Amino acid sequence: MRRATLIWLSRGVMCAALASPGVGMAEQADRQKPVNIEADRLTIDDVKKESVFEGNVTVSQGTLFLKADKVVVKQDAAGFNYAYAYGKPAYFKQKRDGYDEYVEGQGERLEYDGKADKMQVFINAEIRKGADEVKGDFIAYDATTGFYQVVGGPSVATPVNPKGRVRATIQPPKKTVDKVGIGGGQPVPLKPSPALPNKPEQ
């Protein structure tokens, strides 16, 4: 089957809706770049302002990459955008603004609310930032406040975690070695200084 390839510029629906998993952390330059979408099928309803992409859907915009089985994009009367991505799992990855690292996450459903600037990840939800990661049945991220909410549940239950409790791994900060041997650096050997005056005789 021939895949539909789109460069979405005129409507702006996908640009705002899918450029923002964790908007507060996202690479800001991505917003100025075209959105490229590929899918096996595309259905557009202009009356409902709804676009449905189905079948091996991939979305890219700058450093953003999203992959899902199905992506539904809606726009309200005020022009705010809402995106719903479905997959087993649906996956996204995007570079953090000002940092040489990526934020990536996955779940069976991703929902982005363009009006509230929030990303929600449902069922087997995971979000990773560098070496840190959090897992739960549901994860919500508010890009405006930088606030995370993680809830456990049945989708993350395992024999060793039968209650499906939230799991988080937070790495310690990297140690820095300064040039004068203070704060974890190597000690500096002491040397006599020729600039000091001789000790006076008693």
Q: Which domains does the chain have, with CATH numbers?
A: 4-169 (2.60.450.10)
Query: Distance between CA 156 and CA 167 in Å, rounded?
Result: 9
Specify the pLDDT at position 109: 95
Note if the pTM is more than 0.75: no
- The per-residue pLDDT for range 135-172, each reduced to its tens digit, is 999 988 776 676 778 888 888 888 888 888 888 888 88
Choose between 108 and 105: higher pLDDT: 108
Specify the pLDDT at position 59: 86
Band (pLDDT 50/70/90 cuts) for residue 37 is: confident
Mean pLDDT, range 13-30, rounded to an integer: 47
- The per-residue pLDDT for range 43-66, each reduced to its tens digit, is 999 888 899 999 999 988 887 888
